[in-house]
A and B are shown apart, each in its own frame.
Chain A
């Protein structure tokens, strides 16, 4: 029933299922919701084990300090304290984590707690295990740590200067990775362009999508079996295992991971493996299960932050007709104190080298630097949103400086709908899209003409109106082979996800997947595609909640991250459901004495298409295979298990390390957002008056869930653009580590979001879907664009992603100052 649909030279032709449609594509209410609405979810802090102790971490108040002594004697003497763990012990008990960076940064010795010295404020230096959480905190105050403060570096560019204090002596500098990406011929383009627009500096700030549930775990090192059980909300457990296992000598067979409900992740819960390591060591030492619930300040100060990136010396060659030839830039990405997912970010952005545009010539000189700040981790839109924001800034700036209409300039330079599949300068293949139509739709949703009229009417009012546009991409289904672009020795490539769909003893259809969802509704969408393939209703499909390594199948890439479930996760479920369908039909045909081609599946029955009265319920199939097997011919009995595993594997090859080219991601969901803002001339305060989000993600399995992801990504972007920014002082002290000071956007801050959509099915995926959810950071681009549009002539360019009222006030004032504007144009 499947037919080849895709005719492209970029990938081998694939089969797209034609069975989807009865349930897929519908707004099926989520299977997860009943338990979550009734407070019956099982989040990590809800779990409990007999004899458990509670953990409290003692953390460095200094951003950089040698630890000269730790005295735990008074703490350990407190009745009810079970054990302590110090960095010194960790240095003995743990091997440094595997590093993905090549030498010299690959020599970094990173542990689960500070060993010898602390390199960021909040880094754990000791841990206490006690009979209650209160007692653990009380007793932690009795641990005496002696520090010798060291010079601090917090600037991601200054840190690579020769005189900067070095964080990791074994590396010898604060460079975590450096390389140049050079595509086309940017020097030729700059030489031959009619105009070159030079932008001094753009800065993408540090923030976190900060899930409402913090990290946590209940960990038990079972002394009898040697198996360590991690009940945790880590969102990529197989990745965590890759770090934890070698560090403390555990094979994957001795690590059990499970989660049921996870209270949001957004990537920030990927790198919690350091804490899981410490908890495992503490459990082994104490001979007890250990429970840890991160506090909000710990989460904000010392879990993971999103990447901060500074772009210097941007040059953009432009032709008289508005054609932008490309750009060159020096990028400094600030990884914080350790490389815990980095330097993967040093290549991940290359999935979207030209953004949504036909740029042919691009050079990016990329430095991953280390500073005395919280280590970064993937955060919604990881590494691409920084790059895409820079591109949208330069497009707006080119338009403003050279007098092009911003809409027309975008439409001229966008990859055109007829050009898909489109190959980028670095060999990535954009699968499908229609950016001009999306832009039109977004402008329609904000009533662009009306907004322009308001803008004209308000010109002298002191309430300045600005209109902004942001076009971005959400690339999904990574080719992990791109890791070899940053380190040719890394043994990763391709991608995949695994699922099992089985017909259980009494006719139940159950699905287990390798993913660890955090609110994306996997139980529902997996049930929708399974129901379509097996001819039943999603209500009849049981999808196991959450992830359980012992019960679910998995591959090395398993987890929930990087906008890929609709492709990898559902690809695996669909493949497994098809296999099961085949087995059910085989058994059914035998039992009905008919040909397989005469069989159909409907309403949970196997039946003859020509005579629906001749039908066997699934329970009949299951009962025969599992409990009445002698009735089946031996050959058939040997060939069916009704327990069907499938691994979806996208058709990737290994990218080229030397040229830094290859197919880095399979799908390209896209976003065009538009906003109207009001900027108060007197204060710089920005108010969003209208906001439209037009997203495209191929064929949608559950449109309601897709729209919910669009809303959420928009909320995060708006929050980051106007409110959320981690601020460190020169001593490396994080100045806002609570929700009182780190203002997470509220219902009064996130505007009403009008959504629009366009469907451009992916030719490369089994269901025409594209991964989505991260959202590409479109609001960051859109709001920067709108603020710039509201500024008076002669003002400095909008140079930062974060624009609080004071920064906008300074921009407003810059117009009168007539100083440098951060941009210059050289025309031939």
Chain B
């Protein structure tokens, strides 16, 4: 049987906090976030990079953390769902829009979907429904039929003052 393989020390910034941590080469970023750092808001929904439940932001871009090794995050800045909203109870305007428009059912896809919305609105503050649908293609939701997710993002885009950050 194979051995664990070499361990690499990585420097990674997660939600603004710098970490210097040893990781085995085979460890996926999603497992590093969930198990090493205890950031359980990033979820696992499939084995094939299709579902997007593990989506996080890496250097400003939405990526799937199950399709990247933790060691590849060396020198990167990662933002997870835990970075949104002030303190334990604060919701950022995008999250607030999801609450108001019932963009959440079981909540399992939600962290990835909210980050997808955030990165979309950062690049395109007034997206059409078609643009929202394209931007969500990598995030499977099994509960909402996507309708209220789309409504929530439309509402966040239309909110006075637009979105923060």
B-binding residues in A (CB < 8 A): 27, 29-30, 32-43, 45-46, 78, 134, 138-139, 141-142, 209-214, 261-264, 266, 293, 295-297, 518-521, 704-705, 707-708, 711-716, 718, 738-740, 744-748, 750, 752-753
5 chain-A/chain-B pairs, Cβ below 8 angstroms:
A38-B41, A39-B41, A210-B142, A213-B106, A711-B146
Chain A residues lying within 8 Å of B48, measured Cβ to Cβ, are 296, 738-740
Which residue, B40, B140, B146, has most C-beta atoms of chain A within 10 A?
B146
CB distance from B22 to the nearest CB of A (A): 15
Q: A266-B142, A715-B145 are in contact. Are A519 and B26 (CB under 8 A)?
A: no
Chain B residues lying within 8 Å of A210, measured Cβ to Cβ, are 142
Q: In the bound complex, do residue B46 and residue A296 qualify as a contact, i.e. CB atoms below 8 Å apart? A: yes
Cα of A498 to Cα of B28 in the assembled complex, Å: 43
Cα of A134 to Cα of B26 in the assembled complex, Å: 9
B78 at the interface (CB under 8 A from A): no
Q: In the bound complex, do residue A139 and residue B1 qualify as a contact, i.e. CB atoms below 8 Å apart? A: yes
B95 at the interface (CB under 8 A from A): yes
Closest 6 CB pairs of A and B: A39-B41, A36-B107, A263-B108, A519-B106, A715-B145, A711-B145
Q: In the bound complex, do residue B1 and residue A138 qualify as a contact, i.e. CB atoms below 8 Å apart? A: yes
B143 at the interface (CB under 8 A from A): yes
Q: A39-B42, A708-B102 are in contact. Are A212 and B144 (CB under 8 A)?
A: no
Chain B residues lying within 8 Å of A139, measured Cβ to Cβ, are 1
Q: A209-B142, A711-B148 are in contact. Are A38 and B2 (CB under 8 A)?
A: no
Q: In the bound complex, do residue A752 and residue B41 qualify as a contact, i.e. CB atoms below 8 Å apart? A: no
Q: Which secondary structure dominates chain A's binding surface?
A: loop
Residues facing A in B79-106 (CB within 8 A) are: 80-82, 84-85, 88-89, 91, 95, 98-100, 102, 104-106
Q: In the bound complex, do residue B107 and residue A263 qualify as a contact, i.e. CB atoms below 8 Å apart? A: yes
Residues facing A in B109-165 (CB within 8 A) are: 109-111, 114, 129, 132-134, 136-150
Chain A residues lying within 8 Å of B139, measured Cβ to Cβ, are 747
Q: In the bound complex, do residue A744 and residue B51 qualify as a contact, i.e. CB atoms below 8 Å apart? A: yes
Contact of B43 among A134, A263, A747, A750 (CB under 8 A): A263
CB distance from B113 to the nearest CB of A (A): 10
Chain A residues lying within 8 Å of B140, measured Cβ to Cβ, are 212, 739, 744-746
Q: In the bound complex, do residue B147 and residue A212 qualify as a contact, i.e. CB atoms below 8 Å apart? A: no
A141 closest partner in B (C-beta) = B1
Contact of B142 among A264, A705, A748 (CB under 8 A): A264
B115 closest partner in A (C-beta) = A39
Cα of A704 to Cα of B42 in the assembled complex, Å: 27
Q: In the bound complex, do residue A39 and residue B82 qualify as a contact, i.e. CB atoms below 8 Å apart? A: yes
A-binding residues in B (CB < 8 A): 1-2, 26, 34, 39-48, 50-51, 53, 80-82, 84-85, 88-89, 91, 95, 98-100, 102, 104-111, 114, 129, 132-134, 136-150
Q: In the bound complex, do residue A38 and residue B84 qualify as a contact, i.e. CB atoms below 8 Å apart? A: yes
Q: In the bound complex, do residue A211 and residue B142 qualify as a contact, i.e. CB atoms below 8 Å apart? A: yes
Q: In the bound complex, do residue B42 and residue A739 qualify as a contact, i.e. CB atoms below 8 Å apart? A: no
Q: A716-B142, A738-B47, A750-B145 are in contact. Are A33 and B80 (CB under 8 A)?
A: no
Cα of A604 to Cα of B46 in the assembled complex, Å: 46
Q: In the bound complex, do residue A29 and residue B43 qualify as a contact, i.e. CB atoms below 8 Å apart? A: no
Chain B residues lying within 8 Å of A704, measured Cβ to Cβ, are 102
Chain A residues lying within 8 Å of B132, measured Cβ to Cβ, are 747
Q: In the bound complex, do residue B102 and residue A30 qualify as a contact, i.e. CB atoms below 8 Å apart? A: yes
Contact of B106 among A40, A518, A714 (CB under 8 A): A518
Q: In the bound complex, do residue A213 and residue B47 qualify as a contact, i.e. CB atoms below 8 Å apart? A: no
Q: In the bound complex, do residue B106 and residue A263 qualify as a contact, i.e. CB atoms below 8 Å apart? A: yes
Chain B residues lying within 8 Å of A43, measured Cβ to Cβ, are 40, 43, 108
CB distance from B164 to the nearest CB of A (A): 15
A693 closest partner in B (C-beta) = B145
A261 closest partner in B (C-beta) = B107
Q: A134-B26, A142-B1 are in contact. Are A39 and B104 (CB under 8 A)?
A: no
Q: In the bound complex, do residue B89 and residue A212 qualify as a contact, i.e. CB atoms below 8 Å apart? A: no
Cα of A705 to Cα of B106 in the assembled complex, Å: 12
Q: In the bound complex, do residue B108 and residue A212 qualify as a contact, i.e. CB atoms below 8 Å apart? A: yes
Chain A residues lying within 8 Å of B51, measured Cβ to Cβ, are 212, 296, 739, 744
Q: In the bound complex, do residue A712 and residue B107 qualify as a contact, i.e. CB atoms below 8 Å apart? A: no
Q: In the bound complex, do residue A746 and residue B137 qualify as a contact, i.e. CB atoms below 8 Å apart? A: yes
B45 closest partner in A (C-beta) = A212
Q: A30-B99, A740-B48 are in contact. Are A39 and B144 (CB under 8 A)?
A: no
B98 closest partner in A (C-beta) = A37
Q: In the bound complex, do residue B43 and residue A213 qualify as a contact, i.e. CB atoms below 8 Å apart? A: yes
Contact of B99 among A33, A45, A297 (CB under 8 A): A33
Cα of A134 to Cα of B89 in the assembled complex, Å: 35
Q: In the bound complex, do residue B150 and residue A213 qualify as a contact, i.e. CB atoms below 8 Å apart? A: no
Contact of B104 among A37, A40, A293 (CB under 8 A): A37
B138 closest partner in A (C-beta) = A746
Q: In the bound complex, do residue B129 and residue A752 qualify as a contact, i.e. CB atoms below 8 Å apart? A: yes
Which residue, A46, A139, A264, A521, has most C-beta atoms of chain B within 10 A?
A264
CB distance from A471 to the nearest CB of B (A): 19
Chain B residues lying within 8 Å of A214, measured Cβ to Cβ, are 45
